[in-house]
């Protein structure tokens, strides 16, 4: 694979063809925030917080670094007034759903995001899809997936599969930034076997 030379925040970075800007930055010790990124998973490009400014052939545009491929002589800026504004807004939008998430709180501090900017809607899930993608790509079990679209989109376990697979796995649980995943799993279990959970004799 050929070597590619690009510039990130004024620093010369060596990368290999096929790498993403995010991978190149990380290899050079330049930090870019992420929420939906995971080394074991295909890039998702959903949270948009890894957004950076790139200049190619004289044109400047904003792209998500977890997906954008490195190119010879690419000039990348990982911070700017606009980038920071976008990241702050993304955090504020997500904090309305999960104000107590440690990952979100850390980033909120760095970007000055106000967790009370938007009215709270305690739905927690930030749609990073780490659980869905991990189960599909790494475990190949497909026990959890998305349903619906738009503002009604949410995660949903397939009870027939999760009752067999999940108890002995649970590898996706620590990935969830809001702990919503665990809550949904418990609820799915309870609904799948109501007799066990509602029978007072059984509950000790």
Partner 1 sequence: MARLNSPEELEKFRQEVVSKRDPNTPCISICAGAGCIASGASEVIAAFKAEIEKQGLKTDVADTKETGCPGFCERGPIVVIYPEEICYLQVTPEDVPEIISQTIKEKKVVDRLLYVDPTTGEKATHESDIPFYKNQERNIIGNNIHIDPKSIDDYLALGGYSALVKVLSGMTSEEVVEEVKKSNLRGRGGGGFPAGRKWEGSRNAPDETKYVIVNADEGDPGAFMDRALLEGNPHSILEGLIIGGYAIGSHEGYIYVRQEYPLAVENVNIAIKQAEAYGFIGENILGSGFDFTITVHQGAGAFVCGESTALMTALEGRAGEPRPKYIRSNIKGLWERPSVLNNVETWANVPLIINKGADWFTQFGTDGSKGTKIFSLVGKITNTGLVEVPMGITLKDIIYQIGGGIPGGKRFKAVQTGGPSGGCIPEELLDLEVGFDELSKAGSMMGSGGMIVMDEDTCMVDVARYFINFLTDESCGKCVPCREGLRQMLKILTNITEGKGKAGDIELLEELSEVAGDASLCALGTSAPNPFLSTVRYFRDEYEAHIKEKRCPALSCKELISYHIDPDKCTACMICLRKCPVEAVDGGKKKIHIIDQEKCTKCATCFEVCPSRFSAVQKISGEPVPAPIPEDARTIVKKSKEK
Partner 2 sequence: MDINRIDKIIDKYQGDASALIQVLLEIQSENHWLPKEALERVSEKLEVPLSRIQHIATFYKAFSLVPKGRHEVHICMGTACHVRGATRVLDTVEDLTGIKPGESDLDLKFSLETVNCLGCCALGPVMEIDGKTHGKMSPPETADVLKSYE
Residues of this chain that interact with partner 2 (CB under 8 A) are 132, 136, 142-149, 156, 158, 160-161
Subset of 90-129 contacting partner 1 (CB under 8 A): 90, 93-94, 96, 118-119, 126-127
67 is a site residue for partner 1 (CB under 8 A): yes
Residue with structure tokens 């997936």? 145
The answer to whether the CB of 144 falls within 8 A of the CB of 132 is yes
In this complex, which beta carbon is closest to partner 2, that of residue 57 or of residue 149?
149
Stretch that binds partner 1, among 22-30, 104-112, 145-153, 186-194 (CB under 8 A): 145-153
For residue 8, the surrounding DSSP H or E stretch is: strand 3-8
For residue 181, the surrounding DSSP H or E stretch is: helix 180-192
**Contact of residue 90 among partner 1, partner 2, none (CB under 5-8 Å per partner type):** partner 1
Going by C-alpha positions, the residue among 148, 147, 144 that lies closest to residue 136 is 144
User: DSSP E strands: which ranges in 9-153?
Assistant: 11-16, 51-56, 59-64, 75-77, 144-147
In this complex, which beta carbon is closest to partner 1, that of residue 151 or of residue 203?
151
The answer to whether the CB of 98 falls within 8 A of the CB of 180 is yes
Smallest distance, Å, CB 89 to partner 1? 4
Chain residues binding partner 1 by CB under 8 A are 44-49, 51, 62-64, 67-69, 82, 85-86, 89-90, 93-94, 96, 118-119, 126-127, 146, 148-153
């Amino acid at each position: 694979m050929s070597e590619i030379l690009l510039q990130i925040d004024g620093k010369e970075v060596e990368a290999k063809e096929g790498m993403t800007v995010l991978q190149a930055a990380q290899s050079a010790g330049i930090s870019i925030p992420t929420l939906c990124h995971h080394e074991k998973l295909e890039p998702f490009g959903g949270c948009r917080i890894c957004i950076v400014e790139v200049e190619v052939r004289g044109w400047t545009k904003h792209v998500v670094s977890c997906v954008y491929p490195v190119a010879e002589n690419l000039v990348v800026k990982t911070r700017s007034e606009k980038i920071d504004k976008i990241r702050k807004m993304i955090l504020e939008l997500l904090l309305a759903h999960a104000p107590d998430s440690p990952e979100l709180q850390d980033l909120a501090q760095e970007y000055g995001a106000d967790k009370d900017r938007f009215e709270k809607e305690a739905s927690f899930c930030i749609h990073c899809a780490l659980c869905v993608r991990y189960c599909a790509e790494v475990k190949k079990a497909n026990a959890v997936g998305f349903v619906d679209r738009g503002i009604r989109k949410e995660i949903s376990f397939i009870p027939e599969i999760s009752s067999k697979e999940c108890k002995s796995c649970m590898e996706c649980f620590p990935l969830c930034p809001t702990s919503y995943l665990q809550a949904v799993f418990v609820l799915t279990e309870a609904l799948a076997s109501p007799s066990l959970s509602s029978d007072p004799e059984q509950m000790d």
